[in-house]
Amino acid sequence: MATATAQDLVTDLLERVTVALGLTAEIRVVEVDGELTGTLDGEDLGLFIGRHGQTIDAVQHLAQRIVHARTGELRRVIIDAEGYRGRRREMLEQQADEAAVSALRDGRPVALDAMTASERRLVHEFLRERGGVETHSEGAEPDRHLVISPAAPTA
């Protein structure tokens, strides 16, 4: 029997999860620059996404762990359904931008709601490119959150 590729492993996981949840979806897994992206398209994939993205995040974590365990490769794996990741990114960037404006206007730190490590990373990177503010994370999981502060003036 041939050794399963990372793409095969992610495809198999997504097929098993959708069947177990009683969902019908078209599944695509592509590799770009060593990163695997599994995408599900179909109707009513809300159950797969889960409340606040908890289910899709858990499946993504599981996919990454399976790929590492079975291939020995540490690769980033992204799982998306019905464009959830893009919508979530836009919402997080909007919240981050509004918080940055508030921090700069009021001259004091603004704390965002708790979010996952990948979401915090996304916001850190977005605000680093935006400039004018500094970010850091505070708290312990699952309540770890991002704090946005006006950037210290440079000399």
**155 found inside a domain:** no
**113 found inside a domain:** yes
Pick from 114, 115, 116, 19: nearest CA to 60: 116
- The pLDDT of residue 152 is 83
* Per-residue model confidence as pLDDT tens digits over 1-47: 467 899 999 999 999 999 999 999 999 999 999 899 999 999 889 99
Structural domain boundaries enclosing 36 = 6-82
Tell me, yes or no, whether 115 and 51 share the same domain: no
Residue count of the chain, please give it: 155
- The pLDDT of residue 78 is 95
- The pLDDT of residue 153 is 76
Report the share of the chain in percent with pLDDT over 90.
85
Tell me, yes or no, whether 67 and 121 share the same domain: no
Number of domains in the chain: 2
* Per-residue model confidence as pLDDT tens digits over 112-130: 999 988 899 999 999 999 8
Between CA 118 and CA 18 the distance in angstroms is 23
Answer yes or no: is pLDDT of 72 > 60: yes
**1 found inside a domain:** no
Task: Supply the CATH number for residue 121's domain.
Answer: 3.30.1370.50
- The pLDDT of residue 1 is 43
Report whether 7 contacts 29 (CB < 8 A): yes
Q: Could you tell me whether strands 77-81 and 35-41 are parallel, antiparallel, or unpaired per DSSP bridges?
A: parallel
Answer yes or no: is pLDDT of 96 > 80: yes
Tell me, yes or no, whether 75 and 97 share the same domain: no
Question: What's the rounded mean pLDDT across residues 73-92?
Answer: 95
Tell me, yes or no, whether 71 and 10 share the same domain: yes
Q: Band of the pLDDT at 155, cuts 50, 70, 90?
A: low
pTM assigned to the model: 0.82
Cβ neighbours of residue 17 closer than 8 Å, sequence gap 6 or more: 48, 59
Tell me, yes or no, whether 66 and 97 share the same domain: no
- The pLDDT of residue 150 is 95
